[in-house]
Structure 1
Amino acid sequence: MTASLDLTLSPTAAERIRTIGAAEGRALMLRVSVEGGGCSGFQYLFDLVDEAQPDDLKIERDGAAALIDEVSLALLKGSEIDFVDELAGAEFRIRNPNAKSSCGCGVSFSI
């Protein structure tokens, strides 16, 4: 199912997903989920997968796809899935307007 909420995949994230898939020699999708935990209450989890689960929502851009389960989607509404390559490291990152605060590492957040 394709997501209809205003959740987006940045061009940089789409490019990185395609690059990883090309290096692996297969089409990969980025699975993004949220679970309880981390130092701020919730944490983002990222995984690269070959296929979607029946309840996944799919966001596509420029030939790349991200998958989000229905439970996580409520916490990610209005977010952008991005990829940043900085001096401290390269990583997928969520720009989440719903987060009231987040930890220094940017992986956990509170609402």
Structure 2
Amino acid sequence: MSITMTEAAARHVQKSLSKRGKGVGLRLAVKTSGCSGLAYAIEFADEALPEDLSFESHGLQLLVNANSLPFLEGTELDFVREGLNEGFKFNNPNAKAECGCGESFAV
């Protein structure tokens, strides 16, 4: 399996990396947090680390550490606008439940 992003997410990431002036993509992780037990962590990646697993999508890298991969495998990262709000949305087939605010999930 792999981790991918939609074209909308890739456009947003590429635009943000251009503004920053550096970076190869995004680093995704899962941490223990939130009311459902697990929360997504996302940050810009300037380079791949030795412990990163790399997935290429729309010319950008999605970097994930081995501990987070079982929770993120098969996930599609999207960038959505809903009313006045916009942000990344994780379409994660492993999530069995999500909290009401969408910030955390359970497997």
Q: Same fold (TM over 0.5)?
A: yes
TM-score normalised by length of structure 1: 0.87
Percent sequence identity over aligned pairs: 39
Q: CA deviation at 1:96?
A: 0.8
Residues 72 and 47 (structure 1), Cα distance of their counterparts in 2 relative to 1, 3 Å cut: same
Q: 5+ unaligned residues in a row in structure 2: which ranges? A: none
2:104 aligned with 1:105: no
Distance 1:27 1:6 in 2: 21
Q: CA deviation at 1:69?
A: 0.8
8 Å CA contact 2:3–2:62 kept in 1: the answer is: no
8 Å CA contact 1:14–1:65 kept in 2: the answer is: no
2:46 aligned with 1:82: no
Q: Over aligned residues, Cα RMSD in angstroms? A: 1.4
The one-letter code of the counterpart of 2:56 is E
2:46 aligned with 1:46: no
8 Å CA contact 2:80–2:89 kept in 1: the answer is: yes
The one-letter code of the counterpart of 2:92 is N
Runs in 1 of length 4+ with deviation above 2 angstroms?
none
**Residue number in structure 2 paired with 1:71:** 67
8 Å CA contact 1:32–1:66 kept in 2: the answer is: yes
